[in-house]
Structure 1
């Protein structure tokens, strides 16, 4: 059994965070400061379907003496079920990657338009959400509802938006996303394999084997939302199948801050990305 409490490092890693570029409330600078306060030495941002804040974070991380790994989180589909794929260490200028992300954002925009019309028909006052792309229709419209209807809490607005959400699931075929990632020089990791919920399915051992056969390189074995039992099982699976293992908080805001994971937990991944784990734990 892995006891996480014993893994305390002076300088840790967090490879799964979000900013205002998608559905987080951290600005790039706020995220860097929050990570620094947690003594995180190596950070990655994995905004949904966009790399808009990657360059800014690279600069800010350098100024704060922090190592930064470009990342992105992509909704993918495998056998009619949705999962989230994390790509790390890619070339942000990759045409194939940016084309894939643009496709997803445009489909999400179309979904947002359908939801917007439904909300207006129901009589809700709605501040216009601008832009021809979208990264999270639910998040964007819930925020717009709260701004226009101050009596609503964010959770109430979220539930209202959920009630008009169409059945359409926006996701790229897993094989396509993996291939695009490889072309961009990325390392592929399945996000929160055991989380499940309305957005993603739980990845069973059988599903993980299928994904690995298709080219998936690793799993997010250490995740803020996993139980100890789930973490132990994923760690065992990672060792058995010789998978790369990642550590992530999935921090979006102050309520769930970045976590300083011990770099030894994801040593192989860090080394593949050109970062020495031992240097982080100094």
Structure 2
């Protein structure tokens, strides 16, 4: 069956590892024939990714944008757009927000009596803004934190040790968690408009990672705000939720997409191409690919 993966991250995302060419080579080794690199709030990978397209590899332009809808934060995927200064502004705005939040994140972690070596963190990040996963990595490797009881689940054999860095992020910085800091991103409706005005298609990403119930009711309102489809097949969605989202999207003629959300080291259990769609779904995904390739 044709392999398509429309959600992955290169090192233009601060929480991912692989340069664009290495990432796409990995996809080709896995037999992927259509892909999009969807970096966080950044379209800088688009030119490099599309330069590697070939007769056997279709590459769509892609981005994943942090945005706010009805007072809650979500990720909005954009595909098939032409990069412009609009996307530079998105990246600059996001970076400014994160730059302001970073010292407050450090404070929250130190309030938990974690030792956080900022010099080591800066070295690990290579000058980029540090992400929560990188903070977790520096904290976990610091011998001064070896006996800290809150870190036991993330060490070898622990309940959260399967993907310790992303689990650290969710457990400490996720909504309602001890280090969580409310932040308002650009309105989803505004980001939808940017994507569409630049010839692209806006798709809501992995809704199962953002809300735990009433998924289709939330998406229904997003569609009214201009979103054009749903990332149905995702590493965050089990078979039952994927079935529900697929039926919902197809009943409304909304686009259906799929993506692994591959990052590399931060999500070691996730490989490119792990999208969990079946032969019965491929025509709907092809319908989207054709529209985004036009």
Give TM class, smaller chain.
Answer: 0.7 to 0.9
Equivalent residues of 1:142, 1:161 under 8 A apart: no
Q: Corresponding residue for 1:250?
A: 261
Q: In 2, distance between residues paired with 1:208 and 1:119?
A: 34
Does residue 183 (structure 1) correspond to residue 197 (structure 2)? The answer is: yes
Does residue 86 (structure 1) correspond to residue 77 (structure 2)? The answer is: yes
Does residue 142 (structure 1) correspond to residue 136 (structure 2)? The answer is: yes
Cα deviation 1:69-113 (Å, max 9, x = unaligned): 111111111111111100011112x11222122101210121123
Larger relative contact order (C-alpha < 8 A, sep ≥ 6)?
Answer: 1
Deviation at 1:259, TM superposition (A): 1.4
Equivalent of 1:226, from 232, 237, 240? 237
Correspondence list, 1:108-123, <5 A: 108-119=98-109, 122=113, 123=115
Q: How many residues align?
A: 260
| Larger deviation, residues 255-264 vs 73-82 | 255-264
Structure 1 unmatched ranges of 5 or more: 1-8, 276-282
Q: In 2, distance between residues paired with 1:201 and 1:114?
A: 28
Q: Corresponding residue for 1:67?
A: 58
Q: 1:90 to 1:120 in 2, by over 3 A?
A: same
Structure 2 unmatched ranges of 5 or more: 156-162
Deviation at 1:116, TM superposition (A): 3.1
Q: In 2, distance between residues paired with 1:202 and 1:40?
A: 32
Equivalent residues of 1:115, 1:161 under 8 A apart: no
Cα deviation 1:237-274 (Å, max 9, x = unaligned): 11111101101111112531111666434122111112
Equivalent residues of 2:117, 2:138 under 8 A apart: no
TM-score (structure 2 length as normaliser): 0.76
Equivalent residues of 2:172, 2:180 under 8 A apart: no
Equivalent residues of 1:106, 1:133 under 8 A apart: no
Q: Corresponding residue for 2:160?
A: none
TM-score (structure 1 length as normaliser): 0.79
Deviation at 1:155, TM superposition (A): 2.8
Correspondence list, 1:1-282, <5 A: 9=1, 11-22=2-13, 23-62=15-54, 65-92=56-83, 94-119=84-109, 122=113, 123-126=115-118, 127-129=120-122, 134=129, 137-145=131-139, 155=164, 158=168, 162=173, 165-196=179-210, 204-253=215-264, 254-259=268-273, 263-274=282-293
Q: In 1, distance between residues paired with 2:237 and 2:109?
A: 34
Aligned-pair RMSD on alpha carbons?
A: 3.0
Equivalent residues of 2:69, 2:187 under 8 A apart: yes
